[in-house]
Structure formats: C-alpha cells, structure tokens
Amino acid sequence: MGEKKILVVEDEAIVAEAIAFSLKKQGYEVTAIVTNGEEAIEKAAENQPDLVLMDIVLEGDMDGIAAAEKIRTRFHIPTVFLTAYADEETLKRAKLTDPFGYIIKPFQQKDLYVTIEIALHRHELETKMRQALETAEQKASRQTKYVSIAAHELRNPLSAIVGSAKLLELSSKLDEETQIKCLDLMKSASQSMNQLIEDMLIIGRAESDQLKFNPAPLNLREFCRHLVEHFQLSEEKHRITFVCSSTKSVAVIDQRLLQHILSNLISNAIKYSTKGGEVRLELDYWEKAEQVTPRLQENYQLPITNYPIVIFRVRDSGIGIPKQDQEKLFEAFHRCSNVGEIKGTGLGLAIVKKAVELHQGAIAFESEVGVGTTFTVILPASPHPHN
Ligand code: ATP
Ligand code: MG
C-alpha cells in the first residue's frame, strides 16, 4: 500500500508545521498546507488527498466545517476536524457534516495517528459499500431493461402464433397449402421465442455469475470440423470452410462455452453476408502468446502472455459493421444501423463476450462496411494458473 496523502488546513503557521512534521514521521505524505477554506477546496481538487485534517476556525469567509462539507460532497474525501474549540454549538454544526474524526488541540501524536487511521479505514469501507451499491443498482436497472426488451421481443412471434392459430380454427375454409404455411409460421415463431428465452437465460446467468466455467481437454480441430459440417448442412448460399494451421489442437477449454462462441460468430457471418460467399473458420495454436504481434497484444490486452494460446478467426465478406456501432457491438440488444430486414435480437455477441471472459481470453474484430468482417478470439490453451 502506498503512502496515504493528507492535506493540512490550519491557519497558524507554527501549529501547521508541527502537524505536518508529526504526520510525515508517522509515514503519511503531506500534499499541502493551506490556511483557508477556499484554498483547501482548490488543493483537494488538485491533489486528491486521502484525507483532510481541518482546523475549524479559519481565516476568510469560509470556516472549516463549510469547507469540509464541500470537499466531501464534491470529491468524496473524508475530513478529520482539529480544533481548540469544543463548545456545544461548534460540535453540533460539525456533527451535521458527519465528520470522520474530531481531535481537540492540544493533542498527543498517538491520538492523531489513531484518529486518522480509523477515519481512513471507515472511508475505505464506505467507498467499497458505495461502489457495491452502485454496481448493484446498475445491474438491477440493466436487468429491468433486459426484461422489458425481452417482453417486447416476445410479442412479435407470439402474435404470429396467435394469428396463425386463429386462421387454423377456420381450417375447413382454408386450402391445404395455406394450412401448411400457418403451421410453418407457428413453428418458426416458436423456435425464435425459444431461442430468445435460451439467450436471455444465458445472459441472466452470466450477469449473476452463475454461468459456470468447466474446462476439459478438447480436440479443437475435430470440434471445429463438426461444427462447420453442421452449419454447411443447412446452408446452400454460403460455402463454409475450415482451416487449421497447426498440428497441435488439443486444448483445455469449456466445450459448451466454445460452442456458444463459435456458433454465434459463424451464424452472424452467414446471416450478415446476404449475398452469400465464403464464411471461413480458422484455427491456430501458438506455444507462446508472446509471439502475438505488439499490435495484437495492444488490441487484445492479453492477460496470458507466457502461455500457449488458441486463436479462432471467423471471416465473412458481408455487410460489415459501421464505425458508429463498433463501440456498442458487444452490448446486449445492440443491433447495427445497417441490419435492414435481417432478423435478430442482439444477444449473440453479448453471450460470446461473456464466454470469452470466462476463459480469460480476448475478442476483437476488424470490419469494413460492404467489404466484410473478421472476428478474432484468443483463448488460453489451458486455464490461467491464477484462475
Ligand atoms: P441474435 O441475438 O439472434 O444473435 P443479432 O445477430 O442481431 O441477434 P448479435 O449476434 O449480438 O445479435 O450481433 C449484434 C449486431 O452486430 C448485429 O445485430 C449486427 O448488426 C452486428 N453484427 C454481428 N456480426 C456481424 C457480422 N459478421 N457482420 C456484420 N454485422 C454483424
Ligand atoms: Mg447473432
């Protein structure tokens, strides 16, 4: 832990020097000594000390209590009051600012130290609690947003099902072709509802840290080959190819999560290259992530520099991802401005990102509108030892 920084606000020069001396002796860094409230606020903003030691009676219009209040609300920096005045009225005003400590002059060096340490500790706890609360609030508001979008997204397929069911009620008046059409529509609407619910469940589990990471040895070459064959079976417009550039291809990876990652990337590559063409999955295995070029290192902020890694690339020559959408691409429900009539809910890449994070891996993409997109996923070939 580094030295804690303390700002001293005291208008009597000799007292101030003595306090600063005493603080330095105890191992604190004194960021500045100032004599009035305005200067105290200025220095608090400039140096961001961990704590302010504040005399109550100060030169100028603003006393220590008013200055402490401003410093606390603006910068969340705690104050310990230091004063020769302990009358009822002053104490009452000081109490209103919820001070972190109160020391009566003259004081023992030990008292000063104990009061400061307690104040720093309490502030640290309060900061942690505030951050935890903020995170919980953000999570809750994200979840509310997800639920309302999901409810909205479920409405379309649901009304398609209800509409078709009503039509089928009149089946005696419908020809066979229309009846089959209605049934097909109901089938595909239920499939898309099912997919949406599945995706929502995965996102929900990931958000509440319940998405489990179960790594096990996996032959990636075989896995990828099967996956590509599976996609090719139901695809006529696209040629789906797989290239493995390494002889080594067994890695300790969570198969279910990898399935989410690659299926989403490949189905996107197919879906967003409306003209057809080639969709290519590439697999590579590197003994040392250090071999990754500096540019890639920077892009991926790899946490795994010295360990073997596997690299997956999914390339397409489709519609591309507009610049203005790139920043939000991995956010749940975000869809790019150029999707037109292409259907989707915007959950696939959010799931991919979570699955990559669980592996302590990295994901990035390069894309040009109208030319194509390449997603690159880097995963440690075995779980990071600190995991
Ligand atoms: P789904 O939840 O069914 O996957 P989706 O495909 O719309 O819906 P994501 O997979 O999360 O959602 O992708 C988010 C958005 O990113 C897409 O809506 C699309 O605009 C854009 N996108 C993703 N992959 C590509 C790609 N290969 N080429 C062009 N745009 C893409
Ligand atoms: Mg998708």
pLDDT tens for 108-133 read 888 999 999 999 999 999 999 999 99
pLDDT at site 2: 66
| Ligand 1 neighbourhood includes 101 CB (under 6 angstroms) | no
pLDDT at site 379: 92
Pair type for strands 101-104 and 79-83: parallel
* Domain 5-107, CATH class in plain words: alpha beta
pLDDT in tens, 167-201: 888 777 788 888 899 899 999 999 989 989 999 89
How many other CB atoms sit within 10 Å of the CB of residue 319? 22
pLDDT at site 91: 78
Measured by CA distance, the residue closest to atom 13 of ligand 1 is 346
* Domain 143-208, CATH class in plain words: mainly alpha
What is the atom index within ligand 1 of the atom nearest the CA of 347? 2
What is the atom index within ligand 1 of the atom nearest the CA of 273? 28
Rounded CA separation 230/22 (Å)? 73
Ligand that comes closest to the CA of residue 329: 1
Whole-angstrom CA distances from 68 to 15, 51, 127, 131, 243 are 19, 10, 17, 22, 65
Ligand 2 center from residue 349 Cα (angstroms): 6
For the ranges 18-27, 28-37, 122-131, 204-213, which has the lowest average pLDDT?
Answer: 204-213
The residue type at 72: R
Ligand that comes closest to the CA of residue 335: 1
CATH superfamily, region 216-380: Histidine kinase-like ATPase, C-terminal domain (3.30.565.10)
Ligand that comes closest to the CA of residue 350: 1
CA 312-316-317 angle, 5° bins? 155
pLDDT at site 231: 94
Q: State the average pLDDT over residues 217-227.
A: 97
pLDDT at 375 over 90: yes
CA 283 to chain centre: 27
The CB-side HSE value for 328 (13 A sphere, CA atoms) comes to 10
- Check if the beta carbon of residue 74 is closer than 8 Å to that of residue 80: no
Question: Which residues share a beta bridge with 218?
Answer: 251
- Check if the beta carbon of residue 363 is closer than 8 Å to that of residue 356: yes
pLDDT at site 59: 84
Measured by CA distance, the residue closest to atom 17 of ligand 1 is 335
pLDDT at site 161: 93
Residue 82: left if φ>0, alpha if ψ -120 to 50, beta else—which one? beta
pLDDT in tens, 312-363: 999 999 999 999 999 999 999 999 999 999 989 899 999 999 999 999 888 9
Ligand 1 center from residue 272 Cα (angstroms): 7
The pLDDT-based confidence of 6 (bands split at 50, 70, 90) is very high
Q: Give me the sheet containing 238-244, strands edge to edge.
A: 238-244, 277-286, 309-316, 372-380, 362-368
For the ranges 22-36, 58-72, 290-304, which has the lowest average pLDDT?
Answer: 290-304
Q: What percent of the chain is modeled with pLDDT above 90?
A: 60
Q: State the average pLDDT over residues 44-70.
A: 92
pLDDT at site 303: 54
pLDDT at site 293: 55
Q: State the average pLDDT over residues 230-244.
A: 93
Ligand 2 center from residue 347 Cα (angstroms): 7
| Ligand 1 neighbourhood includes 149 CB (under 6 angstroms) | no
Residues of the chain with CATH 1.10.287.130: 143-208
With H, G, I as helix, E, B as strand and everything else as coil, classify residue 35: coil
pLDDT at 139 over 90: no
Residues of the chain with CATH 3.30.565.10: 216-380
How many other CB atoms sit within 10 Å of the CB of residue 285? 19
Measured by CA distance, the residue closest to atom 6 of ligand 1 is 344
Rounded CA separation 76/179 (Å)? 67
Ligand that comes closest to the CA of residue 326: 1
Question: Which residues share a beta bridge with 33?
Answer: 8
- Check if the beta carbon of residue 288 is closer than 8 Å to that of residue 308: yes
pLDDT at 382 over 90: no
The pLDDT-based confidence of 152 (bands split at 50, 70, 90) is confident
Q: What is the pTM of this model?
A: 0.72
Among 23, 128, 17, smallest CA distance to 80 is for 23
Measured by CA distance, the residue closest to atom 18 of ligand 1 is 335
Mutate to test the pocket of ligand 1, among 273, 274, 349 (most ligand atoms within 8 A of CB): 349
Non-local (6+) Cβ contacts of 334 within 8 A are: 325, 328, 346
- Check if the beta carbon of residue 379 is closer than 8 Å to that of residue 358: no
Ligand 1 center from residue 274 Cα (angstroms): 13
Q: State the average pLDDT over residues 57-82.
A: 91
As a whole number, the mean pLDDT across the chain is 89
| Ligand 1 neighbourhood includes 321 CB (under 6 angstroms) | yes
Residues of the chain with CATH 3.40.50.2300: 5-107
| Ligand 1 neighbourhood includes 365 CB (under 6 angstroms) | no
pLDDT in tens, 265-319: 999 999 999 888 999 999 999 887 665 555 555 666 555 566 788 999 999 999 9
Ligand 1 center from residue 286 Cα (angstroms): 29
Ligand that comes closest to the CA of residue 333: 1
Q: State the average pLDDT over residues 34-39.
A: 94
| Ligand 1 neighbourhood includes 336 CB (under 6 angstroms) | yes
pLDDT in tens, 41-50: 999 999 999 9
174-200: b (≥16 Cβ within 10 Å) or e:
eeeeeeeebeebbeebeebbeebeebb
Among 324, 326, 249, smallest CA distance to 286 is for 249
The H or E element containing residue 237 is none
Range 242-247 contact pairs with CB under 8 angstroms and sequence separation of 24 or more: 242/280, 242/281, 242/282, 242/283, 243/280, 243/281, 243/282, 243/283, 244/220, 244/282, 244/283, 244/284, 245/282, 245/283, 245/284, 246/283, 246/284, 246/285, 246/286
| Ligand 1 neighbourhood includes 339 CB (under 6 angstroms) | yes
